[in-house]
Amino acid sequence: MRRPLATLLFATQIAMSRHFLPSVLACIAFALPAAAKAEKHFKEYQGDQPSRRKSSLPAFDAVDFIVDGVEHLGQAVAVTGCYLIQANDWMFFCAAYSTDKRHLGNITLDSKSMNRESLRRALNNCNGIDADDACFVDVYGDAYDPLAPRSDHPETPQPEAWLKNVVIKWKD
């Protein structure tokens, strides 16, 4: 027995919606807490009271965070004076440079958990490997180790500090 094309298309659409809707809901459930946390950080850092901002979280120069960041895993931190480089949809770097523009090291930033507007601007303007003055920023986020021991990966190399839930304060 042959079914009309419209019936087949409708049946296919219903079958796809059974899988599509839970996927969309799962994405929303994951994205909302990350967006709320980023918004909370953004509001904290936007205040007009510099003394309150300084006292509310540890602040580091980019080089200092590269050296001491692992001591602050699990904490919200501020990193000042770095250049965004190599931006992509997975991660990018907050690079520390000397005054004579020698590259000193990188802090890895998690793109997936960051403020969407900051990510768009970084992807559009800071995707090269060289420091650009338009990409000189301060960043705020949560220090974490992406390779921290887990039940599926019990042994880890030397810890390193990345930032997630990042909010970028552009210098312009």
Q: Does residue 145 carry a pLDDT above 50?
A: yes
Domains of the chain with bracketed CATH: 50-170 (2.40.50.140)
Q: How many helices (H) and strands (E) does the chain have?
A: 4, 6
Which spans in 5-139 are helix H?
5-46, 50-56, 62-68, 116-125
0.95 surpassed by pTM: no
Q: Check if the beta carbon of residue 91 is closer than 8 Å to that of residue 166.
A: no
Across residues 132-138, what is the average pLDDT?
91
Q: Using one digit for the tens of pLDDT, what is the confidence trace for 4-47? A: 554 544 454 545 445 544 544 443 444 445 445 545 554 544 44
Spell out the residues 6+ positions from residue 126 whose beta carbon is closer than 8 angstroms to its own.
Answer: 83, 84, 85, 86, 87, 92, 132, 134, 135
